[in-house]
DNA sequence: ATGAAAGCGCTAACAA
DNA sequence: TTGTTAGCGCTTTCAT
């Protein structure tokens, strides 16, 4: 109909003029401030609709210092992150919580080296109110860059501090990896198992892996190093680790495997070697990835984490921070796990 | 060292004062303008580093009308998009091309109804210079919202126009679904096959599916409707469709299956029914998803699309548009496919 | 080669 | 309840 000569987008001023009030009043209407006559509100709203007015965020930002957007930074190539069975759930929790606060989540990928300066500039340029970081490489320099910029930040998972200047007091949300591992191993003990082995993740690279080993050691502190085999969180790795364990300690009667994916591999090896699960060897996994845990043979007893809740908490921590910038330092949070009993132990 | 009382982030003005030049000059240095004495450039750069100055994008945006960011909108729940075998490649192409132009890609999810107003506001608020839109549901109202906002946009895949006001002349990048299907079926014909069936995608919901059927029909226009079975792009759907086809037309000697995932299901059915592939029934798929196509039994002959290239082109189309806003209307582009011969036909 | 000044579109005191 | 007035931090003529 009205094909407005698309020359220039309407501004607050245009709306003000059209509705015969001041810019302030229009601003008040837009921001839903109470002290405006209902009549005027209606009039202004009409004009806004008629003109198709949309506030210019840059201008608004310039004075409010708020953008209404939060960056989620995935420091991995897309193809890796898309395979991460947890990332989508984290993201869902984040988006839900952010939405409750009217904030928009924007996802950034950090992959090639050339991405760093650009992402840092983006983050530092005031495009977002804060950042949620899934920094996965131990030596990542992004946290440091962000620190310089002074952008509120929350990590997904306890960050592994490099040997350099540790980024002090960074807030994070993590699952209770250590506690979960303890639950798992204690359960195995309660079953009367005495030779309990473990297949670990890459504990020098990921705190989750390190914490799970620590939890294991909390319960069976005097265990032989022979009973610990390190793998890489892959199925194949789990299978191989199990084989090595069996070679070294044929008498083992239980194994705590630090991820479900590795556990599915271990189960395979156990089957090939003719060990019955759980009769001969009891197996407990970690993660409770339903697609895996429910379809292994036998179904996997494993440690559950509420990943969506973790995402939600990350967002909440960040929002708290941005809304009360002067409040006491951020506290990190560790989300409890629970043991899900199936058939493998 | 210098622990600057973190009160306020340094501004252009601070840098100017510190280096004893005017704001204009600092601005010139930052934007790499030529007409500045080298000596001054160095001095200013030093001060910038010292102060840890980062330009305020909001302020810059306000005058330049450019943000250096481009939104990629995925109109699907995270868990669906993360399963899409193509999305990560699209994204990679997009990110690469955008990076060449110094632009940052930000990914937005559009999932729950409540997301629409927020995303529209984000997109319209000037946070980004343009948007790349992925498969919206046929009745999606986002394109219309974006159109009102007047944001440059490119679609991934030819958009299915709703029955309402078609969003006129939207630019898109798509694979040559029709041409690819023709190649596949022609190849089958060249093999001497005469009873060529097809398993289609949901052609009333996705243009890719519709185009692939059309390509099939281009080559065998007089084929019986009995030889066409519709499925849903899933493996299970492909298996069922193949079964239905076999029941109706036991004499078929070839089948063009509109996706590799469905083709893997079809292959399974064929095996169960004792048909040899390709001797009894030749099979051609679509997509060339290596993980699937190379591991089926037998490996799948299929139509390849260069998805990363498609992503790259989307970005390029958008960038062209934002850099030359007054250039002639965007033209869409269709990327050629090629047939990859393996063992199934 | 550099500076002064205007202004982008908005919000936030402060007045009225 | 509403309007006036300053900026927010930057780029960009236009002078010099």
Residue B2 forms part of a structural domain: no
Which residues in A lie closer than 8 A to residue B62 (C-beta atoms)?
56, 58-59, 62
Domain boundary among B36, B64, B92: B64
Q: Which uninterrupted H or E stretch holds A276?
A: none
Which residues in A lie closer than 8 A to residue B82 (C-beta atoms)?
82, 87-88
B9 touches chain A (CB under 8 A): yes
Same-domain status, B103 and B252: no
**Percent of chain A's residues with pLDDT above 70:** 93
Nearest nucleotide (CA of B65 to C1'): C8
Nearest nucleotide (CA of A53 to C1'): C9
* pLDDT digit string, tens, across residues A185-221: 999 999 999 999 999 999 988 899 999 999 999 999 9
Which residue of A12, A82, A83, A116 is the best one to mutate when testing the B interface, meaning the one whose CB has the most B CBs within 10 A? A82
**Under the phi-then-psi rule, with left for phi > 0, alpha for psi from -120 to 50, and beta for the rest, what region is A157?**
left
Smallest CA–CA distance, residue B78 to chain A, in Å, is 6
Contact positions of strand D to protein Cβ (< 7 A) = 1-5, 7-13
- Report the CATH number at residue B83: 3.40.50.2300
Cβ within 8 Å of B, A 103-162 = 104-109, 111-112, 114-115, 118-119, 121-122, 124-127, 148-150
The DSSP call for residue A226 is G
Question: CB B82 to CB A99 under 8 A?
Answer: no
Better-scored residue on pLDDT, A325 or B297: B297
* pLDDT digit string, tens, across residues A222-240: 999 999 999 999 999 999 9
Sequence-ordered strand ranges (E) for chain A: 69-74, 104-109, 130-134, 153-156, 171-175, 196-200, 228-230, 254-257, 282-287, 301-304, 333-335, 338-340
DSSP-based three-state secondary structure for A274: coil
The residues of the protein lying within 7 Å (CB) of strand C read: A 8-9, 11-13, 23-24, 27, 30-31, 53, 55-56, 59-60, 62-64; B 20-25, 28, 34-37, 40, 59, 62-63
Residue A1 forms part of a structural domain: no
A114 to chain B: closest CA residue = B99
Domain boundary among B37, B64, B91: B64
Same-domain status, A324 and A215: no
Same-domain status, B88 and B116: yes
Residue A64 has pLDDT above 70, yes or no: yes
**Domain assignment of residue B31, given as a range:** 24-64
Residue A322 forms part of a structural domain: yes
Residue B153's nearest CA partner among B129, B174, B132 is: B132
Domain boundary among A48, A64, A80: A64
Same-domain status, B46 and B107: no
Same-domain status, A153 and A191: no
Residue B198's nearest CA partner among B230, B222, B169, B244 is: B230
Residue B131 forms part of a structural domain: yes
Q: What is the 3-state secondary structure (H, E, C) of chain B?
A: CCCCCCCCCCCHHHHHHHHCCCHHHHHHHHCCCCCCCHHHHHHHHHHHHHHCCCCCHHHHHHHHCCCCEEEEEECCCHHHHHHCCCHHHHHHHHHHHHHHCCCEEEEEECCCCCHHHHHHHHHHCCCCCEEEEECCCCCCCHHHHHHHHCCCEEEECCCCCCCCCCCCCCEEEEECHHHHHHHHHHHHHHCCCCCEEEEECCCCCCHHHHHHHHHHHHHCCCCCHHHEEECCCCHHHHHHHHHHHHHHCCCCCEEEECCHHHHHHHHHHHHHCCCCCCCCCEEEEEECCHHHHCCCCCCCEEEECCHHHHHHHHHHHHHHHHHCCCCCCCCCEEECCEEECCCCC
Tally of domains in chain A: 3
Which residues in B lie closer than 8 A to residue A56 (C-beta atoms)?
62, 125-126
Residue A12 forms part of a structural domain: no
Q: Which residue has the least CA–C1' distance to nucleotide D6? A: A63
Same-domain status, B198 and B291: yes
Q: Which residue has the least CA–C1' distance to nucleotide D7? A: A63
Same-domain status, B296 and B314: no
Nearest to B54 among A102, A115, A125 (CB): A125
* pLDDT digit string, tens, across residues B64-120: 999 999 999 998 777 777 777 788 899 999 999 999 999 999 999 998 888 988 998
pLDDT in tens, chain B (345 residues): 333 344 678 999 999 999 999 999 999 999 998 888 999 999 999 999 999 898 999 999 999 999 999 999 998 777 777 777 788 899 999 999 999 999 999 999 998 888 988 998 899 888 999 999 997 776 677 887 787 778 899 999 988 776 544 455 678 999 999 999 999 999 999 999 999 999 999 999 889 999 999 999 999 999 999 999 999 999 999 999 999 999 999 999 999 999 999 999 999 999 999 999 999 999 999 999 998 999 999 999 999 999 999 999 999 999 988 887 667 766 899 999 999 999 999
Same-domain status, A296 and A330: no
B263 touches chain A (CB under 8 A): no
Distance CA B124, CA B128 (A): 8
Residue A330's nearest CA partner among A154, A158, A135, A151 is: A154
Distance CA A324, CA A328 (A): 9
Same-domain status, A129 and A186: no
Residue B78 forms part of a structural domain: yes
Residue B340 forms part of a structural domain: no
Residue B1 forms part of a structural domain: no
Distance CA B125, CA A53 (A): 10
Same-domain status, B155 and B214: no
Same-domain status, A168 and A186: no
The residues of the protein lying within 7 Å (CB) of strand D read: A 20-25, 28, 34-37, 39-40, 59, 62-63; B 8-9, 11-13, 23-24, 27-28, 30-31, 53, 55-56, 59-60, 62-64
What pTM was estimated for this model as a whole? 0.89
Same-domain status, A188 and A129: no
Contact positions of strand C to protein Cβ (< 7 A) = 1-5, 7-13
């Amino acid at each position: 109909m009205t094909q407005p000569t698309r020359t220039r987008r309407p501004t607050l001023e245009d709306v003000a003029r059209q509705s015969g009030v001041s810019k302030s009043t229009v601003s008040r209407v837009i921001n839903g401030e109470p002290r405006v006559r209902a009549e005027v509100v209606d009039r202004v709203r009409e004009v806004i609709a008629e003109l198709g007015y949309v506030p210019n965020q840059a201008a608004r930002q310039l004075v409010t210092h708020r953008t209404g957007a939060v960056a989620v930074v995935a420091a991995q190539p897309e193809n890796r992150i898309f395979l991460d069975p947890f990332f989508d759930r984290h993201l869902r929790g984040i988006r839900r919580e952010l939405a409750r606060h009217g904030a928009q989540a924007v996802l950034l990928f950090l992959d090639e080296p050339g991405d760093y300066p650009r992402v840092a500039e983006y983050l530092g340029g005031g495009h977002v109110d804060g950042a949620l970081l899934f920094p996965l490489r131990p030596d990542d320099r992004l946290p440091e860059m962000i620190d310089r910029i002074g952008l509120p930040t929350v990590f997904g998972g306890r960050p592994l501090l490099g040997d350099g200047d540790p980024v002090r007091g960074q807030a994070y949300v993590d699952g209770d990896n250590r506690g979960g591992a303890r639950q798992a191993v204690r359960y195995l003990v309660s079953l009367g198992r005495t030779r309990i082995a473990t297949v670990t993740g890459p504990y020098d690279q990921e705190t989750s892996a390190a914490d799970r080993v620590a939890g294991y050691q909390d319960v069976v502190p005097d265990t032989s190093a022979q009973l610990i085999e390190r793998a890489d969180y892959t199925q194949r790795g789990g299978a191989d680790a199990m084989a090595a364990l069996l070679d070294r300690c044929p008498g083992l009667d239980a194994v705590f495997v630090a991820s479900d994916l590795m556990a599915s591999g271990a189960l395979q090896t156990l089957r090939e070697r003719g060990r019955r699960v759980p009769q001969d060897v009891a197996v407990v996994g970690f993660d409770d990835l339903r697609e895996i845990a429910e379809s292994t043979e036998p179904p996997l007893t494993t440690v559950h984490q509420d990943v969506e809740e973790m995402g939600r908490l990350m967002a909440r921590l960040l929002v708290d921070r941005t809304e009360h910038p002067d409040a006491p330092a951020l506290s990190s949070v560790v989300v409890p796990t629970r043991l899900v009993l199936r058939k493998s132990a």
